[in-house]
Structures are given as C-alpha cells and as structure tokens.
Homo-oligomer: A and B are copies of this chain.
Amino acid sequence: MTRGGAVAVVGGGIIGLSIAWRLLRGGADVVVLDDGEPGAWFVAAGMLAPGGEAAYEEPYLARLLELSNERWPSFAAELGVDVGYDDAGTLSLAMTADDLADAARVWTRQKLPLLRPSELREREPALSPRVRAGVYAAAERQVDPRRVVAALRERLAGRIVHKRIDELSEVDAATVIVAAGCGTAALTGLPVRPVKGQVLRLRGEPGLLRHVLDAAVDGRHVYLVPRRDGEIVVGATQEERTDRTVTAGGVHDLLRAALELVPDLAECSLVETTVGHRPGTPDNAPLLGRLGDDGRVIVAAGHHRNGVLLAPITADLIAGLVLDGVADPLLDHFAPGRF
C-alpha cells in the first residue's frame, strides 16, 4: 500500500514509536518525525489498567483495552530489554465509607472478591490501617513508559528525525500517520484536547510497596506505582487546562492522598514534579483510522489516559492497515470522523 515503502509517522511518543516499530518489522520504509518535546508518556505512570469505570460505559473501548492488555507481555518481551513490565498486579482501595460505596459498583462488575483491611495489609504491609476495603486485580499490571520509549527509540535507530511539523503538507511520504497526541488537533482539525495531569516521583527503599495501588481517598483518586528500583510514581490530577504549571495545590493534594494511604511515604524523597497533557477526545476513546478520502493520512491519537496501555493494539491495528490495507472491524468504532 505504501508507494516506494515511504511511511512517515508524525509524533515520536509511545504511540508513534510503537506503530513505526511494527511497520519496520513488517518491512516498511518508515521514518518518525518528532519535535523533541516529551509527550504524555514522559509523565505517565504506566499503569496497564483495562478495568475501571469508563470501560463499562464504552464496550468497544473496553474490548480494545482488554486486547491491548493481553498483548503487553509479548510486546514487552519483543522489545528485548527490561522495560519494567511487572505483573505483581494492582490493589484497588477505598479509604472512607463513601469511597467504598463508589468503588464497590466497579468491583462488583469486575467480579473481584472484596478484601478486608487485614487481608490487604497482609498483601501490602505499608498500607494505612485506615484503608477500609479493597480488591486485588491480578490483570492490572505496570510498565515503565520511559524505558519503553528508550527501547523503541533504540529499535528505530536512524529512523527518527528531529523535526517539528506544522502542516501535513510539509510531509513528503506516500502515507502519513498522525500520532501527535495533543498536537493532532492543530494538524488535522480533530477534537483532541489537552487534559492536564500533575505527577510526582518519590524515591524510597525498594520493596516498601509491592503492588500498584489505585485508591480513592476521601473522594480523591490517587495511584501509586512502585518500580523495582525504589521509585514510586504518584498520580495524577485531572485538569481541563493547557498550562504546564506544577501548582502548590496539585502537589499538596497528591501528597496528602498518598501519605494518608501509605504513611511511611513521608520519609521518601520527592525527586520529580511534572506536568503532562493527556490527549482527550469528546468520548475519551482514541481516534484510529483513515482521515479523508485519499487514504494518505491515518490518525492514531486521542488515547487520553490509556496511551501506554493501548500502544500494542494501536501499533498492530495501524500497521495492519498500512501493510495489508486491511481495516480490522474493531477500527470502525474509533473512526477519526465519528464526531
């Protein structure tokens, strides 16, 4: 399908690189055009969590998330280096009675058995005694997005060009894949909006936490993603804002919820405070597929909170579309032109 083998991917984030890697392995002559600005992957914690409330409201999105989650083990293995893929699983937790009432609806649908505080602390000794209930989601794992991007960049050595694209007409290629995250809006006119997230990185003794913790703490959602080396990612605010400011209020709210959940985090060092922007869409499902009639432009963007999780399935679907000219029926539900 690609004339002269020429495919250009606009955007060198985790989506663009994953697609380019699959294309390269499929024999395409691919180049990634990247503006050098770290995307949402740089801030993301890397939770691979196909469950959660949104999925139930969008069954096709739920299916996409599940499929991609199933592909992560082989995707990580094929990268050939340690990308922090960790299958210890997630404890989903509720701190107050109100938090529990909210969470229980999701847990019931997930058919996960409720664990009592003593059972939770057996699994995760550092948890506050105030945690009221939780469930163990074995299928919700983690990966380190910074390691994934580094591995993908290595696989694509020589194929990544540092260039900022302002108009798709600047791109000289038979096929152009727009995987530009929030930048996709300006390039295509599609409704991708930035959803600001503030994220902290702490560092403590390795082993302080064993699982990903995903919790509601007095009505506030917080997650803690512990890496094997002692790093603990704490996220994230969700703000409909475009600025890049780390705010006193954002950092305070994250630290408060994290410390209420795991008091021993107080002694950890606070090593990084960052801001990223999730590429949101009107229904918060991604935009995947051809744009316009000439077949030249393909979009893979708008992954909102699920960019890391959805990288493998996005790469496979888009590579299939380019290499074989076949649109998987699943793509119908994520057509960029649906709005």
Contacts and interface: CB of A to CB of B under 8 A. Distances in A.
Interface in A267-284: 267-271, 273
Contact of A252 (B245, B247, B250, B252): B252
Contact of A265 (B249, B255, B258): B249
A251 B202 CA distance: 12
Contacts of A200: 248
A150 interface: no
Interface residues of A, number: 22
Contacts of A248: 200, 202, 255, 258-259, 265-270
B251 A270 contact: yes
Nearest to A268: B248
Contacts of A267: 247-249
A256 B252 contact: yes
A271 B202 CA distance: 17
Contacts of A83: none
A226 to B, nearest CB: 13
Which residue, A266, A270, A273, has most C-beta atoms of chain B within 10 A? A270
Contacts of A246: 269-271
B256 A269 contact: no
Which residue, A247, A250, A267, has most C-beta atoms of chain B within 10 A? A247
A270 B270 CA distance: 13
Interface string A164-175: 000000000000
Interface in A235-268: 245-252, 255-256, 258-259, 265-268
A133 B202 CA distance: 37
A199 to B, nearest CB: 13
Nearest to A266: B249
Contact of A266 (B252, B255, B259, B273): B252
Contacts of A256: 252, 256
Contacts of A269: 245-248
Contacts of A251: 251, 255, 270
A54 to B, nearest CB: 27
A260 to B, nearest CB: 10
A-B pairs, top 10 by smallest CB distance, nearest first, are A249-B266, A252-B255, A245-B269, A248-B268, A246-B270, A248-B270, A248-B265, A251-B270, A202-B248, A248-B255
17 contacts: A202-B248, A245-B269, A246-B269, A247-B269, A247-B270, A248-B266, A248-B268, A248-B269, A249-B259, A251-B251, A251-B255, A251-B270, A252-B255, A252-B256, A252-B266, A255-B255, A256-B256
Interface of A: 200, 202, 245-252, 255-256, 258-259, 265-271, 273
